[in-house]
Structure 1
Amino acid sequence: MNSREEALSFPTGDLRLGFCAACGFITNTLYDAALQDYGIGNEASQGFSPTFNAFSKELARRWVERYGLEGKGVLEIGSGKGEFLVDMIEAGAGHAVGVDPALLDERLDPALADRISFIKEHYSERHGALTGDAVVCRHTLEHIGPVLDFVSIITRSLEGRPDTAVLFELPDVGRVLRECAFWDIYYEHCSYFTPGSLARLYRKAGLDVLDLELDYDDQYILIEGRPATGAPNAPLALEETPEAVAADVAAFVRDFEATRTAWQDRVRSARADGRRTVLWGGGSKGVAFLTTLGLSAEVDFVVDVNPFKQDKFMAGTGHEVSSPERLRTEQPDLVVAMNPIYLEEIGADLHRFGVNAELVAV
């Protein structure tokens, strides 16, 4: 948000998570898509982290090589600011189309203008004529309410194209439940999948599951498939049962209050002792962490490496988002990292800025 006042008055919604014992799917039963705005003000890019960039480029290379996409066409649904399509082109793909209302023309590389085109809209049935040799959808399905309808649009668009790869990436809610990671549950994510429930969705929508794995410190599910041409294929090794998900749901319900209280006590005790606390990560995890814990003055400010978040304010709580450079002069005592995969990267930055603080991850 551009001002603290705008951040504090940002609309909110409630979450009531429902679990399907038949397939393992989890959703916010109170979700109202009308409250959401994925226009150009939506800044979800992770492309300013060396750790994430290395993962993104390696994944693009893997998919291009595995599915023979050298010189071929790629369609990405929910392409954000276009960084992954650039990675796909650099990995060998011939041309690409991205569909996303949050695209910003000034963020595009002019040198790739003849190989990448964008449609600034939400993907829907009217885009069914858009096809490629691969359809990519990364960290978008969890923002969709009618998930079967959404994936079925893709399947119908591929009639007569049985060799097209359908490649999705999204968070694994199984990890969230087992680790009681409440900061990974927030309004924008209305649909939550495990590897098993995602594979079951693929098959129900008419896709064969070719590969299923966890990546990025086992935080993300990667699923790869193609339009089914016969009977559904057998479950893969990573597919857990709905009964296993039910046990993880029960554990989350049991442990949530204690986990929340422990984090509240930790941050508030630091404040009471005169120690300064900074949150590292100005994205949705940070918003969920602050709002779920009800934190305000206990956290001095938020740091993010994304320059397009800096000098903005966190929705809900109004905390200012700053560049890591601010830590040179305003030295914190406690730094809470919103993702443990970035601990080494953050630790190196703290050392570079001369910060001698306790660094912990959620």
Structure 2
Amino acid sequence: MVEPYCYACGAPNPRAFYTVDAVPVHSVLLMPSRDEALRYPRGRLELGFCSNCGFIQNNAFDPSLHEYSTRYEETQGFSPTFTRFAEELARGLVERYGIRGKTVLEIGCGKGEFLSLLVELGDNRGIGIDPSLIPERLPASARERILSVQDFYENHVDLTREADAVICRHTLEHIQPVQDFIQLVREGIGNRRDVLVCFEVPDVARVLEENAFWDVYYEHCSYFSLGSLGRLFREAGFELLELYRDYGDQYLILVGRVGTNGERFSGEESPKRLERMVAVFETRVQEAMDVWRERFAAWRAAGKRVVLWGGGSKGVAFLTTLGLGEEVGYVVDINPYKQGMYMPGSGHEVVSPAFLEAYRPDVVIVMNPIYTEEIQAELARLGLEPELVRVGVPA
């Protein structure tokens, strides 16, 4: 057996500290039947911590199990809260860095919502690369100005030569050889110091602090903190212009360019600091799971109707890690493409908010607290007043 090594720095044997067997290898593939959802392939999670650079990875990850296709439904664009965040981020990049009349390449562009924003806000041209890209879902106002490439970036690195800005949001965490990948981007840019890069990934420090086992899933084989993300890019030959947390401290945003003189930013923790956080998570995460199992057992004993709000990866990880079945009636999601589908692994049906008007749940589990106001407003509109329980927020 080949010993694992850190995919961010090459150091040997990242220490395993959290293991979950048999989790769905995909969280947001559309499952049109409960049977398919229950039978969907599973893999093993074994989070390993690198004491050399602070990077966290799934030591047991097998990329051959993945299926990135047009069945992949990752968009969060149906949420007004998320849309506002994306618009503010896009507008800020255009205004601060003068991205106007330029060519913007987005790696892992999903359904192209963010790329379309950049194209429209700065009168730019876009290149969108993603195997799950569906050109017909691009806004009509931007479609003619975007070159759609339904494939992986590795097969089209040459297109980087055309780019004045390279964007990559919520894609790097899906990539196993992160050091090689960032070096690939760096080589694609060459020595053009005027090319801007912007990467966005989840923040693993928050996951550790909150014992957020629902934010650990197979698709995410790579986990970053401010410190480990900054070290990865500097080692690849980038200087950092911005590095900060956003979206309720859930996401990390890095802005940089080719160079070696970038500053250090507040919050960039050392590997030693992150190692202490890993140790605390390791001792407390099982207790966090037990507390949730007890709550579900109590609700079931009391005959309460419980639903989960959020049919994405958090919901899949929450249901499968806890082994929940009949304890949860349905999963709610505002994305119409998910409604009528089933959750990979657990087989729960995904329904629209309107379904709740007849179902009348007693308890609604909010998978992402940042959407609480949105959800409260929708429940009020439906004339419902269930108990709202937010994951990651102390009871």
Return the TM-score normalized by structure 2: 0.90
Structure 1's 126 and 91: CA in aligned 2 closer, same or farther, altered over 3 A? closer
Question: Is 1:171 aligned to 2:205, yes or no?
Answer: no
- In the aligned structure 2, how far is the partner of 1:235 from the partner of 1:160? 22
Quick one: which amino acid aligns to residue 269 of structure 2? E
Q: How is 1:47-126 mapped onto 2 (pairs within 5 angstroms)?
A: 47-124=77-154, 126=156
Asked if the contact 1:125–1:153 (Cα under 8 Å) also holds between the matched residues in 2, the reply is no
Q: How is 1:173-188 mapped onto 2 (pairs within 5 angstroms)?
A: 173-188=204-219
- In the aligned structure 2, how far is the partner of 1:26 from the partner of 1:237? 20
Q: Secondary structure at the match of 1:27?
A: strand
- In the aligned structure 1, how far is the partner of 2:123 from the partner of 2:333? 31
Asked if the contact 1:137–1:169 (Cα under 8 Å) also holds between the matched residues in 2, the reply is yes
- Higher alpha-carbon deviation: 287-296 or 98-107: 98-107
**2:256 alignment counterpart:** 225
Quick one: which amino acid aligns to residue 278 of structure 1? V
How far is the alpha carbon of 1:125 from its aligned partner?
5.3
How far is the alpha carbon of 1:72 from its aligned partner?
1.2
Quick one: which amino acid aligns to residue 80 of structure 1? G
Quick one: which amino acid aligns to residue 282 of structure 2? V
How far is the alpha carbon of 1:205 from its aligned partner?
1.1
**1:354 alignment counterpart:** 383
Question: Is 1:306 aligned to 2:335, yes or no?
Answer: yes
Quick one: which amino acid aligns to residue 249 of structure 1? V
- In the aligned structure 1, how far is the partner of 2:205 from the partner of 2:123? 33
- In the aligned structure 1, how far is the partner of 2:352 from the partner of 2:270? 44
Asked if the contact 1:60–1:84 (Cα under 8 Å) also holds between the matched residues in 2, the reply is yes
- In the aligned structure 2, how far is the partner of 1:116 from the partner of 1:129? 13
- In the aligned structure 1, how far is the partner of 2:359 from the partner of 2:61? 39
**2:57 alignment counterpart:** 27
Q: How is 1:336-351 mapped onto 2 (pairs within 5 angstroms)?
A: 336-351=365-380
The superposition leaves residues 305-333 of structure 1 with CA deviations (integer Å, 9 ceiling, x where unpaired) of: 00000000000010000000001110000
Q: How is 1:330-341 mapped onto 2 (pairs within 5 angstroms)?
A: 330-341=359-370
**2:14 alignment counterpart:** none
Quick one: which amino acid aligns to residue 148 of structure 2? F
Asked if the contact 1:3–1:312 (Cα under 8 Å) also holds between the matched residues in 2, the reply is yes
How far is the alpha carbon of 1:71 from its aligned partner?
1.5
Asked if the contact 1:64–1:93 (Cα under 8 Å) also holds between the matched residues in 2, the reply is no
Q: Secondary structure at the match of 1:34?
A: helix
Query: RMSD in angstroms over aligned alpha carbons?
Result: 1.0
- In the aligned structure 1, how far is the partner of 2:261 from the partner of 2:179? 16
How far is the alpha carbon of 1:80 from its aligned partner?
0.2
The superposition leaves residues 58-98 of structure 1 with CA deviations (integer Å, 9 ceiling, x where unpaired) of: 10000111111011110000000000011112321411110
- In the aligned structure 1, how far is the partner of 2:143 from the partner of 2:331? 35
Asked if the contact 2:135–2:143 (Cα under 8 Å) also holds between the matched residues in 1, the reply is no
How far is the alpha carbon of 1:53 from its aligned partner?
0.3
Asked if the contact 1:97–1:117 (Cα under 8 Å) also holds between the matched residues in 2, the reply is yes
- In the aligned structure 2, how far is the partner of 1:104 from the partner of 1:296? 33
**1:250 alignment counterpart:** 279
Asked if the contact 1:128–1:156 (Cα under 8 Å) also holds between the matched residues in 2, the reply is no
How far is the alpha carbon of 1:154 from its aligned partner?
0.6
How far is the alpha carbon of 1:234 from its aligned partner?
4.3
Q: Secondary structure at the match of 2:193?
A: coil
How far is the alpha carbon of 1:232 from its aligned partner?
4.8
How far is the alpha carbon of 1:239 from its aligned partner?
0.7
The superposition leaves residues 211-234 of structure 1 with CA deviations (integer Å, 9 ceiling, x where unpaired) of: 111000010000010011xx4534
The superposition leaves residues 117-169 of structure 1 with CA deviations (integer Å, 9 ceiling, x where unpaired) of: 21000110542333311100000000000001111111001113111111000
Unaligned runs of at least 5 residues, structure 1: none
Asked if the contact 1:128–1:153 (Cα under 8 Å) also holds between the matched residues in 2, the reply is no
Q: For 1:156, which of 162, 177, 187 is the aligned residue?
A: 187
- In the aligned structure 1, how far is the partner of 2:267 from the partner of 2:348? 40
Number of residue pairs matched by the alignment? 360
Quick one: which amino acid aligns to residue 356 of structure 1? E
- In the aligned structure 2, how far is the partner of 1:148 from the partner of 1:232? 20
**2:224 alignment counterpart:** 193
How far is the alpha carbon of 1:108 from its aligned partner?
1.8
Question: Is 1:136 aligned to 2:167, yes or no?
Answer: yes
The superposition leaves residues 163-215 of structure 1 with CA deviations (integer Å, 9 ceiling, x where unpaired) of: 11110001000000011000000000000000100000001111111111100
Q: How is 1:6-45 mapped onto 2 (pairs within 5 angstroms)?
A: 6-45=36-75
Quick one: which amino acid aligns to residue 281 of structure 2? F
How far is the alpha carbon of 1:54 from its aligned partner?
0.4
- In the aligned structure 2, how far is the partner of 1:265 from the partner of 1:245? 30
Q: Secondary structure at the match of 1:14?
A: strand
**1:288 alignment counterpart:** 317
The superposition leaves residues 28-64 of structure 1 with CA deviations (integer Å, 9 ceiling, x where unpaired) of: 0000001111101010100000000000001000011
- In the aligned structure 2, how far is the partner of 1:64 from the partner of 1:347? 33
Question: Is 1:210 aligned to 2:238, yes or no?
Answer: no
Structure 1's 338 and 317: CA in aligned 2 closer, same or farther, altered over 3 A? same
Q: Secondary structure at the match of 1:24?
A: coil
Q: Secondary structure at the match of 2:104?
A: strand
Q: For 1:265, which of 270, 286, 294 is the aligned residue?
A: 294
Structure 1's 59 and 295: CA in aligned 2 closer, same or farther, altered over 3 A? same
Unaligned runs of at least 5 residues, structure 2: 1-30
Return the TM-score normalized by structure 1: 0.98
Structure 1's 46 and 66: CA in aligned 2 closer, same or farther, altered over 3 A? same
